Structure 1
Amino acid sequence: MVIRQFFILLLLAIGVVNPAFALTKIEATVDRNPVMLGEYFVLNISVDDEIDTGKLDTSALLRDFIVGRTSVSRSTQIMNFDAVKETRWQVLLAPKQKGQLTIPAFSIDGINSAPIPLQVVESGGQPAQMKNLFIDAKVSTDEAYVGQLITYKVKLYLAVELQRGVLSAPVIEGGQIKQVGEDKDGSEIVDGRRYRVIERTYGIIPDLPGQINIKGATFAGDVLVESQRRGGMFGFNESRPMQAGAPSLTVQVNPAPASFLGQWLVADLVVLKETFPEDITEFTVGSPITRTITLLASNADENSLPDINQTLPDELKLYPEKPQRQTFVREAQIVSQYSISSAIVPSKAGTFTLPEINIPWWNPHLKREETATLPARTIVVKGGAITDTPTAPAWQANSTADNNDSWMVKAFAALWLITLVVWIITLIAWRRALKNQITAPIALNSAPAATISGLHGLEKACASGDVGHIMLQLQRYFSELEQTPMTLDKIAEQSLPLAEAIQQLQLTAYSANANNANPHLSAQCAALLNAVKTYQRQHSKPKSVALSPLNPR
């Protein structure tokens, strides 16, 4: 009898310590209310059990909302010898219309959540103090011409810490778009609240007349926001996905006027200038004169700048180099430049005129044709040294003059040929020496200290067994190696082994047993490290070295 009572008490104790888990509650919340039209907010759905993620049906949201990225997490906590399990969904939503909307109730295994009434206000109607992240964009003009460079500036305002993210370019039809210059990182105060501001400039060039619609730039990423667990005393930071978009804009595009003559060029200002040896008053026959002509255009595309053709007298031989085109930002203005250098070789003595150069262009502000002019220039050329010769008959003098001219031409040609050969030999020797000097250091220093430390951090993360930390260290390593921010998608594009290793780790991170020890994690980490080291060896192989660009990105 005593033994029977003992077993009954033991079973009751086991039942108390290990209760049967069952879903009893579904809770749905939003991170803010009201929300702005077209702006994303986060819907959090949590249940007090570990369940199959496919049991949650969110299709009812599609009627009134744009459904973005959905993430799932699971957790287990032991409180007073009781195991508390939770499954949580985070869903990015953007309302399709303003007014009063309702997030419907969700049902799992007969348990329902409460519906959420949601107020949607017009874009710009929400006070700036309530915004943690938003985008603003503007164009330089609402009316333009075909081929005109329209400046599109977008600003990303952040009141929270940015963990990772991508700022995507605006989308247009009937035009070209490209980023101009580097991103600017600063800060601004909006309605008394300080924001970190990332500013980017794009150039838009319409191809056809009419109205073009510019779909605003967008941002998608993760930020760290301060949160507080229910019943907890202390706040903590948690990663939260966020998306935002700039409003759409329209620009009216006019065709090029039929009265315009020449190659079509539209800009705010066009200037012609030249570099010429001003300190020399007289030039010598056969001595080259270096002349550089530069065309500058404000708010114009470099490819729209016309080629400059120089028409010179027959006594001046022209040897032009390949023209150079570039675009840069100066004092918040986009400036395009066309530059061409030429060697002018006089073949006879005398006074000669370099004709003026005219470039027609269209002023969109005054709506009229204007001309950029490089004034004409006069140069004086003298002959070489003159020696006295005995007087000879007229026929002999003519013959001697002809022979002297012929001798001078041959001598000049021979000297030119010798100079060319010596220059080619010197160039080949210089390039070989430069290759030997540059290639060796690169082969020795192919793994900089920053990259080695990043690989060491990745190895430590793999040893910790934290998949999230492994992914973060992987992004840091490749960002240091490539000298540019690298997302997991970009890293996966570098090689097939990297893509497979990342995919396996992501499956581990979002699997049903993500919180339990994974027996395959060690093998997955080994595959990842092997793929990383293989890519590093291929990346660090000595290559033919080119000179660094003046403005590296």
Structure 2
Amino acid sequence: MVIPQLNKVKALIFSLPNRILMLLFLLSFGQASYAASVTASLDKTTSVENEVVQLTLRADFTNTGNGPELDALKENFEILGKSQNSQFSFNLGTNTALSYWIVSLMPKSVGVIDIPAIKIGDHESNPLKLTVKNSPQLLDSNGNPPAMIKTQVSEVEPYLQQQVILSVKLYTSVALQNANLSVPSHPDLIIEQLVDDQMSYETINGTDYQVLTREYLAFPQRSGLLTIPVQTIQAMINTNTGRRMIKVQSEPLALQVLPIPASYPSDNWLPSEAVTVTTKLTSTVEQPRVGDTLIWDIQIQAKGALPEQIPTMAFNSTRAYKLYPKPAEFNTRKTAQGITGQLNMSIEVVPTEEGQITLPKITVPYWDTEQRVMQSAEASTKTLHINPLPDGSQKAPSPAAAANTTPLPPQSRSVAPISLNKPKPVAAQTPVTETSTVVATTGSTSNIKRYLIIALIASSLVMVALWFYLKRKSASTPSEPNVPTLQDFAPLNTPDEKSAYANLIGCCRDNQLTELRSHLLEWARHRWGDEEITSVDDIKRLSASVSLTQLLMEAELMMYSQNTHHQWLGEPLAEALQEFTSGEAKPSQASQLKTLYPNF
């Protein structure tokens, strides 16, 4: 009777619906027995100074949010790094999710340090305690440290703005990890790295060190005592007890900066070990003439100085030449011995007189930082022979110029230019005796006037007859093909010479250099005709005026030059044109002080 009853119980329990109910009961029991939590642990409870400690956090749930909140650790620790790992497991009746965080910590002080509860999601870990002891100095078997820093300077008593080479040497006998070497800085020093890092090897007290040398340039900006802060390095190394962080620092350096010597006469203070000056004058043509462009190259090198410390040279134009400087160029050359600054200057020289052209001597004063005395670097430029203007510019002399064929030297603006205009009628200055004067006064002036009127009428009739003859001849001959003229290609924009001249004078007085050429050609075509005028050179040739020619040359030089440092002033050219057209010199007090090139 018992066995049949047991069989009935088994059948009832292991039937399909009952099996499902049993499985659900077991799952709910397993989940009810599982409690979410956060567990914290340390890889060691006792550590030494500058030794890395690892904190492990384990979360037994899935909703971890943004991970552990580590802000509470920053008061007593440096957080060096953090890594995360997750695990999931599924068993019959249970499922588990585990998340791990490993945090690398560096204690900031010695003693017993409390690690507070770390919050992850809605849960917190258990608090911990860490004991940090003073660490013995890390020394090898020879009694040497694993790393050292040494610093030195090339000059402990430099002058103001003198070059000082600062050398930082890092000695290491073990491999460094995550090394962080400081960079020298000081508010009263201009510091920049000199060359790339140099690597070498050295044995000290039986220990082999790898030596990294890093050199800097330092330029003190004020006199007095300057202290360069200590240089430090922070890195991780492997020891027998684990990874440790080391902090090494150098000794501070002091500079006693000397002021500018009272005996230094120049305003341009240039401390340098040596200064050299080279100069050269070259021509773009074999035989330079007046008005050609010469190139004057100047190079100044200062050893132990920045190129910006080299003073730029300023030269004035003279009666014999005009100067058009270009912007200076600064270059730097760095070597292990220091820096060398270089200043390059290029000046366009336009000679205005024939003969030997002599440029001024170049003198650069500087303070010799090695000898500690005042020195000067000098250089002279070789002279060049300048030929006169071509003869073509004097082919059309005016009647006044024909009377005196001696070429005029360069004059100030007070001298009247030569003009092609007809001079006003002047009575012949024939030397006469007192008797001839009496005879002349007794003649009848009315007869002279009558003869003049008759001659004028006769010449007018001849001109009218000649005009009718030419007109009939041109009408009888077959017409030639129409050939385009200059008027067809470039018609005149003004009705007469007077209007063109007024526009030209206005252009000069408004300093409109870009429109000068068109106004010049417009006026010249009215004055001399299209057959004579094709370029500005024809105006120079036909005017036969020294001052007007040189002013036009100056305008052309500025028109086609890339130099933008000077503005063209057209008033002198306007005055020269007025003197040329009127044939009379225009008096001016300021003209006594001007040269033929008044713009520079």
TM-score relative to the length of structure 2: 0.50
Query: Distance between the aligned counterparts of 2:292 and 2:210, measured in 1?
Result: 61
Q: Is the 8 A contact 1:310 1:357 kept in 2?
A: no
Matched, 1:143 2:154: no
One-letter identity of the residue aligned with 1:317: K
> Offset of 1:10 from its aligned partner?
5.7
3-state secondary structure, aligned to 1:303: helix
One-letter identity of the residue aligned with 2:85: S
Deviations 1:362-421 (A, max 9, x none): 12222222211113644433324569999x999921687484996244334435544655
Aligned-CA RMSD value: 5.5
Q: Is the 8 A contact 1:147 1:205 kept in 2?
A: yes
Query: Distance between the aligned counterparts of 2:139 and 2:189, measured in 1?
Result: 27
> Offset of 1:209 from its aligned partner?
1.1
1:75 to 85, 100, 124: 85
3-state secondary structure, aligned to 1:360: strand
Query: Distance between the aligned counterparts of 1:315 and 1:175, measured in 2?
Result: 47
3-state secondary structure, aligned to 1:414: helix
1:356 to 358, 361, 365: 361
> Offset of 1:46 from its aligned partner?
0.9
Q: Is the 8 A contact 2:284 2:294 kept in 1?
A: no
Map of 2:371 onto structure 1: 366
1:206 to 207, 214, 220: 220
> Offset of 1:79 from its aligned partner?
10
Over 3 Å counting, the alpha-carbon distance change for 1:175 and 1:22 in structure 2 is closer
Query: Distance between the aligned counterparts of 1:125 and 1:208, measured in 2?
Result: 47
TM-score relative to the length of structure 1: 0.54
> Offset of 1:332 from its aligned partner?
4.6
Matched, 1:322 2:338: no
Map of 1:26 onto structure 2: 42
Over 3 Å counting, the alpha-carbon distance change for 1:266 and 1:79 in structure 2 is farther
Query: Distance between the aligned counterparts of 2:327 and 2:381, measured in 1?
Result: 23
Q: Is the 8 A contact 1:170 1:218 kept in 2?
A: no
3-state secondary structure, aligned to 1:257: coil
Map of 1:338 onto structure 2: 343
Q: Is the 8 A contact 1:316 1:344 kept in 2?
A: yes
Higher strand share: 1
Query: Distance between the aligned counterparts of 1:214 and 1:418, measured in 2?
Result: 58
Query: Distance between the aligned counterparts of 1:30 and 1:189, measured in 2?
Result: 38
Q: Percent identity among equivalent residues? A: 17
Over 3 Å counting, the alpha-carbon distance change for 1:218 and 1:196 in structure 2 is same
Map of 1:414 onto structure 2: 552
Matched, 1:119 2:135: yes
Q: Is the 8 A contact 1:210 1:253 kept in 2?
A: yes
Query: Distance between the aligned counterparts of 1:356 and 1:30, measured in 2?
Result: 79
* Structure 1: tracts of 5 or more residues without a match: 35-40, 62-66, 96-100, 231-237, 425-553
Deviations 1:120-166 (A, max 9, x none): 659999988845xx866543322211122333455678976988x98
Q: How many residues align?
A: 387
Map of 1:396 onto structure 2: 403
* Structure 2: tracts of 5 or more residues without a match: 1-8, 60-66, 118-124, 410-417, 419-540, 563-600
Over 3 Å counting, the alpha-carbon distance change for 1:266 and 1:170 in structure 2 is same
Q: Is the 8 A contact 1:144 1:254 kept in 2?
A: yes
Query: Distance between the aligned counterparts of 1:271 and 1:30, measured in 2?
Result: 67
Q: Is the 8 A contact 2:38 2:126 kept in 1?
A: no
Q: Is the 8 A contact 1:145 1:256 kept in 2?
A: yes
1:53 to 69, 74, 97: 69
Give the 5 Å matches for 1:191-340.
191=203, 202-215=216-229, 248-262=252-266, 263-277=268-282, 283-310=288-315, 314-330=319-335, 332-340=337-345
3-state secondary structure, aligned to 1:292: strand
Deviations 1:466-521 (A, max 9, x none): xxxxxxxxxxxxxxxxxxxxxxxxxxxxxxxxxxxxxxxxxxxxxxxxxxxxxxxx
> Offset of 1:355 from its aligned partner?
3.1
> Offset of 1:55 from its aligned partner?
7.8
Query: Distance between the aligned counterparts of 2:368 and 2:135, measured in 1?
Result: 48
Matched, 1:184 2:196: yes
Over 3 Å counting, the alpha-carbon distance change for 1:58 and 1:419 in structure 2 is closer
> Offset of 1:259 from its aligned partner?
0.9
> Offset of 1:300 from its aligned partner?
1.2
One-letter identity of the residue aligned with 1:354: L
Q: Is the 8 A contact 1:45 1:89 kept in 2?
A: yes
Query: Distance between the aligned counterparts of 1:356 and 1:256, measured in 2?
Result: 26
Question: Which one has the largest radius of gyration?
Answer: 2
Over 3 Å counting, the alpha-carbon distance change for 1:375 and 1:175 in structure 2 is same
Deviations 1:23-65 (A, max 9, x none): 363335899x78xxxxxx5633313534843485453x4xxxx
Map of 1:381 onto structure 2: 386
One-letter identity of the residue aligned with 1:296: Q
3-state secondary structure, aligned to 1:53: coil
Q: Is the 8 A contact 1:139 1:151 kept in 2?
A: yes
Q: Is the 8 A contact 2:325 2:348 kept in 1?
A: yes
Q: Is the 8 A contact 2:362 2:380 kept in 1?
A: yes
